Structure 1
Amino acid sequence: MGFQQGLSGLNASSKNLDVIGNNVANAGTFGAKSSRAEFADMYAAAMNGTGANNIGIGVNLAAVAQQFTQGNITTTENPLDLAINGAGFFQVADVARDPNAAPNTAPTMDGPPMYTRNGQFKVNRNGYIENNQKQVLLGYVADANGVIAPQQARPIQLPTAGINPQATTGIDLEFNLDSRSAITVPATGGINFNDPTTFNNATSVTLFDAMGQDVAVTYYFQKTAANTWDVYATANGNSLMTNGAGDAMPVATINYPPTSGGNPTAGGGGSIAYYMGGGGTSLDGRIPIDVPATVRPDGSSTLPIAGIQLNMGNSTQYGTTFGVTDLTQNGFAAGQLVGVSIDNSGVIMARFSNGQSRPAGQIELATFRNPQGLQPLGGNIWAATYASGDPTVSTPGSGNMGVLQAGALEESNVDLTAELVNMITAQRAYQANAQTIRTQDQVLQTLVSLR
């Protein structure tokens, strides 16, 4: 039986060296996981045998077990390089590529999702995030407003077509008017926008029409009495409100509480009266503003912007210098995609040339009850099997899912030093098994030589 044991030992040592060699070869492969050859002894025994002194007949390879321990994370300069710190796999899928399909047609998944720890992703010509095997990354897709809702994982596409313009609908203007300022109403009344002695302070904001064209709106603050200020507004130099003679008229009058100078809509004698849209008194500090079509300095015409809500309820009148502490509006011009960033929860933020940022999607991860049951397909890809169980999917950082680190990659978890030591051990085991065959041959030679 010595030949049997020795031969099985040689086969086992050879396979062990194959596994070690594969580990060493993938020591520099991002997302690769090491494997371990696991062996079992063999015995020959009759069914229901009761012998207690059976001699083994060798060894066989019981399994090649994958080791899904965490690899080191190394940083890169590519924002689409992703590393999972913790449990989970990226989900990718092959897609059916129809050469006759219209541009930007959503791809059709060709088969079930597959799984990888290699986060080397890129953007293809259609804006989809894919790996080096041309498999697209799966996750939740954001709608046109950037809202992400949990759904069936689909290929994630970046908004490479850009972002459409949005007309301004709201303005928040927070400022302080100096209560020590002198009354600046000219003797003839009204205001002269070219004469700074006819108003106390001014500030400007850029609005946008439905075509994304910018409209420069300037607000002028004129003190007309103690605690009372008229607010005028111009768009590209033209007053928003005029009388029958074409003279500029205020769009609002602010009365500050005489004893506090604080919020004009919080009571105490304060109020904001507005004159556009039928006029009235604001209860929350918001007044309606309509900007008519105007001509910009370059000669182009802008579209009218109606229904803007100007919020001046947080303004104050204290005995300190004039200052604007907040001036925001919600319109913007059209913009092109200039970059992306991915946070640790997998949300992909698209940055546009107009300064806007909007979620483009969220990456979904998958975990398995028995990851060692996954079937390796090559190319850093695994497939689910009956042994692995069905995947459990969720967003990064939720439950037992790991978190993502953008601009980083997970290195192979192969311990090169340990593998080289294992290689020496396997080589010695191979030599020892060869020696058992040589010894058995010598024993048989001795028996054949008997006279």
Structure 2
Amino acid sequence: MGFATALSGLKAASTNLQVTGNNIANAQTVGFKESRAEFADVYASSLSGVSKTQPGTGVRVTEVAQQFNQGNIEATQNSLDLAVSGNGFFVLSDNVNLPDPNNPTAPVDPSVPTAYTRNGAFQLNSAGNVVNSEGKYLLAFAPNGTTAAEGFSTGVFRPLTIDTSQGLPSATENIAMKLNLNGAANNPTNTTFDPKDPLSYNNMTSVTTYDTQGNAHIASTYYVKDPAAANAWNAYLFIDGYGITTGGPSTPPLPAPDSSVVGLNMAGDPVPLTFTATGLLDTVGGVTATKVEFGNIDLTQINPNISVKPMAFNLEYAGTTQTATPFSVNALTQDGLPAGNLTGIDVDGTGVVFARYSNGGSKALGQVALARFQSSQALAKLGDTTWAKTSSSGQPIYGAGGDNNFGTIQSSALEGSNVDLSAQLVKLIVAQQSYQANSQAITTEKTLIETILRA
């Protein structure tokens, strides 16, 4: 029995050496998780159980268990390099359902996850899909719209595809102005307003707006202090030099005329602005409101060379004041965009992937899916730093970065191996000594048998 006992020790020590050597070999493998050999003693049992004098029959390997502690996260220059800081695995699939290029609006069946990984070194394939080095597709939750605010369908998997098409233009729908009108200003010298006559108005602001095809149009607003009423001003809007008549205040809405365009250098109906005695905005367009609607602006009357949908937008004056200080523009924004080209990809901490365009716009392409398990150590090892679920691991729980016990996602970063080389070298020495000791036990047993045979 001595030979068998020492032989089991040799096998256990050899396994330990292999496990340690594998850890050392993968010390630089992205997303690798170190393993440890776990052992149990072996006794020869009988119906009466193990005898008190039973010396034992050796050792056996019970498991080569992987350790899923966090590896160091290192920054890279590739925005598609992803790292999970905390709990969770990236979700991969060998085969995915892609949209039909001949019918891109047709429904696409959800993809099925087949593997899980911590290795976030992803790249684009020829079709623009995000894949790993083995060609497995990175799965993401399908977006409900084009913005992150519209949310994502958690559990509905789609291959993450980078859309390299041109960013579509977006027509201006809202203009927001936050001004200060000088309450101590004199009334204009010329009482008849004329946009070409600086003596007929007090101040002017301009902002570039966009139509449905991304054509730029300059929206200019002229402010005239009302000589007939205290704390009152009239605002005249022009688009590319053409006067515009308002469709009425946004609350309550009034019907717009057939076209709000009046004519070149011809003023439309002004928007009256009134202020309280303390200088706060009181009414816009004659009602208690902060914005006014401009609708049905027929741009073909302004530029016959274009054919676009009529422009319509809200002009917001929230926060505008009237104080005895010089005129100032404290904020002036609009939400339209021209056409743009793809300039980059951004991934936030929750895994939302944005396509960034040269026009300043962005589009949500999907949300990187994460999975976690009740028992990560029970996952089946597939190689290439990937794992598969088993009956012992439990069913995967899917979610997004930062939610429901999931870690956050870092872009332009990779999680390195969690192997501690110093610790592995010490384990290597211990395993070597164990191997040598068991070899010595076999040598000793051999010497004893030879002594008995010569007796």
Per the normalisation by structure 2, the TM-score is 0.86
CA distance in 2, matches of 1:98, 1:359: 18
Give the stretch that moved more between structures: 435-444 or 419-428.
Answer: 435-444
Name the counterpart of 1:148.
151
Q: Is the 8 A contact 2:13 2:431 kept in 1?
A: yes
CA distance in 1, matches of 2:188, 2:15: 95
Q: Is the 8 A contact 1:338 1:353 kept in 2?
A: yes
Identity of paired residues, percent?
Answer: 37
CA distance in 1, matches of 2:269, 2:126: 51
CA distance in 1, matches of 2:263, 2:35: 88
Name the counterpart of 1:395.
400
Q: Secondary structure at the match of 2:299?
A: coil
Q: Secondary structure at the match of 1:184?
A: coil
Name the counterpart of 1:208.
210
Name the counterpart of 1:342.
347
Give the stretch that moved more between structures: 216-225 or 39-48.
Answer: 39-48
Name the counterpart of 1:414.
419
CA distance in 1, matches of 2:85, 2:261: 67
Aligned residues: 434
Shift of the 253–96 alpha-carbon distance from structure 1 to 2, 3 Å rule, reads: closer
CA distance in 2, matches of 1:157, 1:57: 58
Shift of the 164–391 alpha-carbon distance from structure 1 to 2, 3 Å rule, reads: same
CA distance in 1, matches of 2:18, 2:263: 95
Q: Which amino acid aligns with 1:152?
A: G
Pairing of 1:270-281 with structure 2 (within 5 A): 272-273=284-285, 281=286
Among 275, 295, 298, the alignment partner of 1:292 is: 298
Give the stretch that moved more between structures: 331-340 or 67-76.
Answer: 331-340
Query: Is 1:229 aligned with 2:233?
Result: yes
Alignment gaps of 5+ in structure 1? 266-271, 274-280
Q: Is the 8 A contact 2:242 2:265 kept in 1?
A: no
Shift of the 397–213 alpha-carbon distance from structure 1 to 2, 3 Å rule, reads: same
Name the counterpart of 2:77.
77
Query: Is 1:179 aligned with 2:161?
Result: no
Name the counterpart of 1:269.
none
Query: Is 1:259 aligned with 2:260?
Result: no
CA distance in 1, matches of 2:292, 2:12: 84
Name the counterpart of 2:369.
364
Q: Is the 8 A contact 2:23 2:35 kept in 1?
A: yes
CA distance in 1, matches of 2:316, 2:99: 53
CA distance in 2, matches of 1:131, 1:20: 27
Name the counterpart of 1:127.
128
Pairing of 1:12-23 with structure 2 (within 5 A): 12-23=12-23
CA distance in 1, matches of 2:424, 2:107: 45
> Deviations 1:369-389 (Å, cap 9, x if unpaired)?
111101110111000101111
Q: Is the 8 A contact 1:163 1:352 kept in 2?
A: yes
Name the counterpart of 2:384.
379
RMSD: 2.9
Name the counterpart of 2:193.
190
Q: Secondary structure at the match of 2:153?
A: coil
Query: Is 1:431 aligned with 2:436?
Result: yes
Q: Secondary structure at the match of 2:69?
A: coil
Q: Which amino acid aligns with 1:181?
A: A
CA distance in 1, matches of 2:384, 2:452: 54
Alignment gaps of 5+ in structure 2? 246-259
CA distance in 1, matches of 2:419, 2:240: 66
> Deviations 1:377-416 (Å, cap 9, x if unpaired)?
0111000101111112222222322222222221111111
Per the normalisation by structure 1, the TM-score is 0.87
Shift of the 215–55 alpha-carbon distance from structure 1 to 2, 3 Å rule, reads: same
